[in-house]
């Protein structure tokens, strides 16, 4: 366990955001070093297994386990992360214009809770910078999703313009897009999840995707929702998302809840991710799948640390799953654990392919 025994103790002595940059720089340098990607694959890669490979929203995924947005905000380490066993990855959240984000410190570990709190505020180098990085990639072993958001200074009534601009700049380089309307760290952003504001935004996003596609089929787009919606809000939001014609939904983003936390950093403002979110995010997946009768592909995200966590989200209705906080606490070794465990769990249930497990709790 190279990461947990050697790298993690060193990284956890450093400020969390500095440690974050060290990881990104390390992954980037590994890709630039001759033999570096081969070494990463030998240490952490997972061989393709047809039983875990699947198609979702017209895209082929070598496995259902992906990297959530927020770790590689500027697409600086795509080759590195693509080499450590992920079946897909998100980059971003990216905004049309670069912005510094919120004041530091803005990222906090809660080790006793296996959690993180962040109030980063969409700090990123902007859409043009990301487009240049993605354009320079020599190969794409896994699908790359670009998570897009609005700049902090953009009022909600003009938010659709920011999302449209991100799509225009990045359309040639993304395999799919994710509309982030659920981060708690950009003022008023979560209001875009509701009613007419959501319908207006998704209509604009769909129109821009269609425009960029020309005569061809437009690239898939998913919508990422918050775990803090009440039952009525969730039902309304899911109805609007499904009726908009988007490709799918990601459940969920970080939470504002602090229920059950023990660590001294529990009082920090921002979005909470990690183990405390496991149950709630799975319940959201279950409700979305039930409401849509499985018609809307779901990506389950939130508190996945073990194969059982991932499999619970798949049985609840997720076609794909994502991790982030577990990468911080367990390192890239987690991907081999998740893949082996998923294979074991689905075989125990008598399934020969992971797609057969999707939504199994509803049958």
List active site positions: 183
For residue 133, the surrounding DSSP H or E stretch is helix 127-135
Number of Cβ within a 10 Å radius of residue 54: 19
CB 317, CB 285: distance < 8 Å: yes
CB 99, CB 151: distance < 8 Å: yes
Which of 158, 84, 162 is CA-nearest to residue 124? Answer: 162
Bridge partner list, 109: 116
Which of 301, 279, 274 is CA-nearest to residue 108? Answer: 274
The contacts of residue 48 (CB under 8 Å, 6+ apart) are 62, 63
The contacts of residue 230 (CB under 8 Å, 6+ apart) are none
Distance CA 250, CA 92 (A): 15
Which of 189, 186, 295 is CA-nearest to residue 238? Answer: 295
Distance CA 50, CA 204 (A): 37
Q: Is 232 left (phi over 0), alpha (psi -120 to 50) or beta?
A: alpha
Distance CA 292, CA 289 (A): 5
Give backbone dihedrals phi and psi of 220, rounded to 5 degrees, phi first. -65, 150
Longest dimension (CA), the chain: 55
Distance CA 27, CA 25 (A): 5
Residue 311, helix vs strand vs coil: helix
Specify the DSSP class assigned to residue 167: H
């Amino acid at each position: 366990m190279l990461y947990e025994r050697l790298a993690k103790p060193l990284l956890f002595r450093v400020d969390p955001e500095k440690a974050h940059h060290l990881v990104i720089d390390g992954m980037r340098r590994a890709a630039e070093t001759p033999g570096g990607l081969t070494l990463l694959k030998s240490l952490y890669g997972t061989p393709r297994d047809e039983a875990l490979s699947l198609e979702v929203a017209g895209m082929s995924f070598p496995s259902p386990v992906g990297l959530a947005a927020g770790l590689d905000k500027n697409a600086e380490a795509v080759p590195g992360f693509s080499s450590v066993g992920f079946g897909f990855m998100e980059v971003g959240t990216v905004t049309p214009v670069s912005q510094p984000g919120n004041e530091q410190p803005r990222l906090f570990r809660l080790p006793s809770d296996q959690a993180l709190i962040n109030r980063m505020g969409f700090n990123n180098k902007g859409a043009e910078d990301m487009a240049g990085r993605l354009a320079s990639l020599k190969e794409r072993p896994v699908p790359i999703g670009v998570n897009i958001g609005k700049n902090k200074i953009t009022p909600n009534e003009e938010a659709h313009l920011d999302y449209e601009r991100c799509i225009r700049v990045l359309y040639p380089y993304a395999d799919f897009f994710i509309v982030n309307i659920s981060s708690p760290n950009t003022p008023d952003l979560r209001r875009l999840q509701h009613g007419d504001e959501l319908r207006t935004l998704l209509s604009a996003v769909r129109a821009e995707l269609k425009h960029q596609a020309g005569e061809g089929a437009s690239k898939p787009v998913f919508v990422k929702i918050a775990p803090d919606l009440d039952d009525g809000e969730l039902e309304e939001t899911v109805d609007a998302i499904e009726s908009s014609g988007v490709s799918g939904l990601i459940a969920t983003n970080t939470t504002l809840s602090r229920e059950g936390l023990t660590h001294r950093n529990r009082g920090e403002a921002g979005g909470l991710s990690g183990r405390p979110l496991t149950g709630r995010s799975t319940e959201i997946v279950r409700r979305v799948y039930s409401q849509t009768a499985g018609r809307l592909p779901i990506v389950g995200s939130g508190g996945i640390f073990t194969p059982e966590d991932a499999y619970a989200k798949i049985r609840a209705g997720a076609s794909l799953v994502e991790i982030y906080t577990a990468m911080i606490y367990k390192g890239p070794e987690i991907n081999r654990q998740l893949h082996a465990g998923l294979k074991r769990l689905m075989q125990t249930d008598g399934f020969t392919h992971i797609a057969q497990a999707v939504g199994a709790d509803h049958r």
